[in-house]
Homo-oligomer: A and B are copies of this chain.
Amino acid sequence: MKELIAPDPWTVVQEGFDPVENRVYESLFCLGIGLFGGRGNHEEQYSGDTLPGNYLAGIYYPDPTRVGWWKNGYPDYFAKILNAADWKPIHVEVDGEPLDLATAEIHEYRRVLHLRTGELERTFRATLPNGRTVAVEAVRFVSMTRQHLGVIRYRVTPIDADVALHLTLAVDGDVVNEDSNYDEGFWTEVSRSFEGSRVSVVSRTRKTGFLACTAIDYEVRLDGESVGSEPTAVDDRDRYMASVVDVEVAAGQTLAVVKYGANVTSRDVDGDDVTTPCYAELDEAAAIGFELLRTEHRAAWTRKWEISDVVIEGDPAAQQGIRFNIFQLNSTFTGDDPDLNIGPKGFTGEKYGGVTYWDTEAFCLPFYLATSEHEVSRNLLRYRHRQLGKAIENAEKLGFRDGAALYPMVTINGEECHNEWEITFEEIHRNGAIAFAIFNYLRYTGDEAYLLDGGLEVLIAIARFWVQRVSWSEQRDAWVMLGVTGPNEYENNVDNNWYTSLMAQWTLRYTAVALDIARRLDPEAVDRVAAAAGLDEDAERAAWADVADRIHLGEDPERGIFLQQTNFLDKELVTVDDLDPAERPINQHWSWDRILRSPYIKQADVLQGLWVFEDRYDLDTLRRNFDFYEPRTVHESSLSPSVHAVLAVRLGRLAKAHELLLRTARLDLDDYNNDTADGCHTTSMAGTWIAAVQGFGGLQVVDGELRIDPQLAPGWTRLGFQIQFGGAWLSVSADAGSVTVENRGDRNVALRLAGELREVPHQETVTFPGRS
């Protein structure tokens, strides 16, 4: 854990330049917006350690698989999100000397990410090796209203001498992925163009054949007047094109450059012409100008915050953490395109490639369900539905048949990319999360018609998988689920992982329920779905029911706990307190076999199930399981603390819950795991929202009923959050004594608040007494 960022409710501030932590700051100061984004690299040249990163949503490369020992069923490639052309570079020379923060003497360096407006602001003074001192002020944003566009205003003021400024404004497509498996080049150049201030590079990805045009335009003004020499071109490297201008600037005068960057890919257009629409973006941006672009961008962020903000008063560290997390989530996925999803690092880094993990359904969906228009969540569901064919192929590759589907562990286009057998083939609980997401979407939105628009097909295919995946144990007289890896990846190839089997059981039962719901809506449509899937309804329903009714779910009656896996209690039942702190995190200090046979749990597993189905289990059951598993959980997955936080709140352990919430909320801001340099933990950020709103806010939907039950962590004076629910929009604000609910929607809403059924009329604000 590092103290990099001072707590503040609405900003993330770096005070002073720090070359050692440069990569971490580059991750924290990432800006993205649905279709593209990139790391907080400097505009100027920088000869120090840096991880340049610009990413275009959905543009990937199938990097050939690298393994030591091949196992049947491994995929051929790992899809890597590609480092793409950079639209940002503004290289500056002052009297022939490069402005490079690695060689200059730097004063008053300050970088501010304005969470409220999505703007990155940077100010500093630099004294160059040639003795010249300049003051720089840079403002950057990627437009929330124009998802192809980025804008920079870059101002330079010579302090103590008249200087000649030499500016190189580039599109730099000469980039690589640091984690390429075989050092293959991922891009080939298609064309480069230079037309004065307008410069572009069009590249094509190898193998996948995506086209991408990145183009820039700019204007240079001195005291409001256009200035500068006639631009000249620099194109001395492949996939690189720059426009160069020279300006004489007097001491104290401020040269202002506004640079527009646009990215358009072949995903955005029919046909191959990515340049024309890219240029159109630039034309429009230049016509509107920096100020108006910023105004509309700020207005869009204001709307985003209105429906997604979480207020925590009395705890600026938590407040800052959760806002940073919400900012990243809204930057990464805007929900406009059902072929996009939420990468584990968003646009903040290239690690983990792929895009889609079970994180999406298990952790991110609840956030988007409660804080976005329902179309956003629906597009996450449609993503999986569009990939159903690939999931069925994937299952066939592993020996399943008759339309059973196994969704990939990691994917970008529906094909499996992961290649560790114990995860790729065995961490099958992801199928359960994908099925449950459909139910979760329905209970928040009431949009039952989605079942006929894809939901049912996905449920049937997953139910078929579970039926085939279990085997019959004569000695148990039960269906068993052998050879699985649960959410706790610190156990591999175990039998009867309780969480996995529970999700299977639930899917099998819910699929039958979903068929009933859908048939009530439109029996003929159900018949069409059934016919297309080749569903033998009576026989398959019977099989689903049989497996669901007779699946083995391990319990220890003595301890009153569910068994994470059949042999868990054979382990040495030590706890985290027995660990030498010097050996933590154990994944950096212990050999893999030692971790596997230890009782230490990487992330919520049985407790994950108790969270997913929290309405099913009484508090005593929860307490017994929590008290058994929590002390053995090392939380070495960023996805873990949030689930424990929710359950700790339920058990009234608010201090524990607060500790866990902070750990998630500030994971990247404090570089807790010493890996933020690679990028932020974007999908885990949804866990912060879960801990705050489902945990402290008490948000649940049970049998169609909305429930809240706000409680404040020690030190908190207020907790506020937003809920989208069945077309309604509630804004909740709780202090120590009362809970105020503002119904911003058009219909009255009934909800259960701390156990009491309440009603809030539309467009009204009602204050209720708080929890007694």
A68 touches B71 (CB 8 A): no
Known contacts A398-B593, A597-B483; decide if A570 and B425 are in contact (CB<8 Å). no
Decide yes or no whether A159 CB sits under 8 A from chain B.
no
B residues less than 8 Å from A570 (CB atoms): 473, 475-476, 480, 482, 495, 566
B475 touches A592 (CB 8 A): no
Kindly provide the distance from the CB of A586 to the nearest chain B CB, expressed in whole angstroms. Answer: 9
* 16 further contact pairs, Cβ within 8 A, besides A66-B67, A566-B566: A68-B68, A68-B419, A69-B419, A399-B594, A422-B493, A471-B571, A471-B572, A473-B571, A474-B569, A480-B570, A482-B570, A482-B597, A483-B596, A493-B493, A493-B596, A567-B567
Kindly provide the distance from the CB of A592 to the nearest chain B CB, expressed in whole angstroms. Answer: 4
Which A residues, 391 to 408, have Cβ-Cβ distances below 8 Å to chain B? 397-399
Which A residues, 460 to 518, have Cβ-Cβ distances below 8 Å to chain B? 471-476, 480, 482-483, 492-495
Kindly provide the distance from the CB of A351 to the nearest chain B CB, expressed in whole angstroms. Answer: 12
B residues less than 8 Å from A594 (CB atoms): 398-399
B residues less than 8 Å from A475 (CB atoms): 569-570
A597 touches B68 (CB 8 A): no
Known contacts A68-B66, A68-B419, A69-B420; decide if A425 and B567 are in contact (CB<8 Å). no
A422 to B480, CA, bound (A): 23
A572 to B476, CA, bound (A): 11
Q: What 0/1 readout, one digit per residue, does chain A (410-427) give for beta carbons within 8 Å of chain B?
A: 000000000111100110
* The 3 residue pairs across chains A and B that have the minimum distance between CB atoms: A73-B591, A425-B593, A483-B597
In this complex, what residue of B is CB-closest to A593? B425
B residues less than 8 Å from A422 (CB atoms): 422, 493
Q: What 0/1 readout, one digit per residue, does chain A (565-582) give for beta carbons within 8 Å of chain B?
A: 011011111000000000
B residues less than 8 Å from A590 (CB atoms): 72, 399
B residues less than 8 Å from A569 (CB atoms): 473-475
A62 to B601, CA, bound (A): 35
A398 to B591, CA, bound (A): 5
In this complex, what residue of B is CB-closest to A569? B475
Kindly provide the distance from the CB of A683 to the nearest chain B CB, expressed in whole angstroms. Answer: 19
B residues less than 8 Å from A71 (CB atoms): 591-592
In this complex, what residue of B is CB-closest to A481? B597
A425 touches B591 (CB 8 A): yes
B72 touches A588 (CB 8 A): yes
B residues less than 8 Å from A67 (CB atoms): 66-68
Q: Which one of A67, A588, A597 has the highest number of Cβ atoms from chain B below 10 Å of its Cβ?
A: A597
A72 to B588, CA, bound (A): 7
In this complex, what residue of B is CB-closest to A492? B493
20 A-B residue contacts at CB 8 Å?
A: A66-B68, A68-B419, A69-B420, A71-B591, A72-B588, A397-B591, A398-B594, A399-B591, A399-B594, A426-B593, A472-B572, A473-B571, A474-B569, A476-B570, A480-B570, A482-B567, A482-B596, A492-B492, A566-B566, A566-B567
B591 touches A72 (CB 8 A): yes
Known contacts A483-B597, A570-B495; decide if A421 and B592 are in contact (CB<8 Å). yes
B residues less than 8 Å from A596 (CB atoms): 482-483, 493
B residues less than 8 Å from A483 (CB atoms): 593, 596-597
A70 to B103, CA, bound (A): 36
Kindly provide the distance from the CB of A173 to the nearest chain B CB, expressed in whole angstroms. Answer: 28
The 8 Å CB contact of A425, one of B397, B476, B493, B592, is B592
B residues less than 8 Å from A566 (CB atoms): 566-567, 570
Which A residues, 531 to 547, have Cβ-Cβ distances below 8 Å to chain B? none
A589 to B475, CA, bound (A): 29
Decide yes or no whether A717 CB sits under 8 A from chain B.
no
B495 touches A567 (CB 8 A): yes
B residues less than 8 Å from A69 (CB atoms): 419-420
B residues less than 8 Å from A621 (CB atoms): none
A420 to B492, CA, bound (A): 13
A475 to B569, CA, bound (A): 7
B residues less than 8 Å from A587 (CB atoms): 72
Q: Which one of A419, A587, A593, A595 has the highest number of Cβ atoms from chain B below 10 Å of its Cβ?
A: A593
A590 to B67, CA, bound (A): 18
In this complex, what residue of B is CB-closest to A494? B493
In this complex, what residue of B is CB-closest to A421? B592
In this complex, what residue of B is CB-closest to A423? B69
A483 to B572, CA, bound (A): 13
A224 to B590, CA, bound (A): 71
In this complex, what residue of B is CB-closest to A595? B72
The 8 Å CB contact of A421, one of B476, B480, B494, B593, is B593
B residues less than 8 Å from A399 (CB atoms): 590-591, 594
Q: What 0/1 readout, one digit per residue, does chain A (33-72) give for beta carbons within 8 Å of chain B?
A: 0000000000000000000000000000000011111011
Which A residues, 238 to 263, have Cβ-Cβ distances below 8 Å to chain B? none
A425 to B594, CA, bound (A): 9
B residues less than 8 Å from A567 (CB atoms): 482, 495, 566-567
In this complex, what residue of B is CB-closest to A69? B420
In this complex, what residue of B is CB-closest to A419? B68
A572 to B419, CA, bound (A): 27
A675 to B571, CA, bound (A): 41
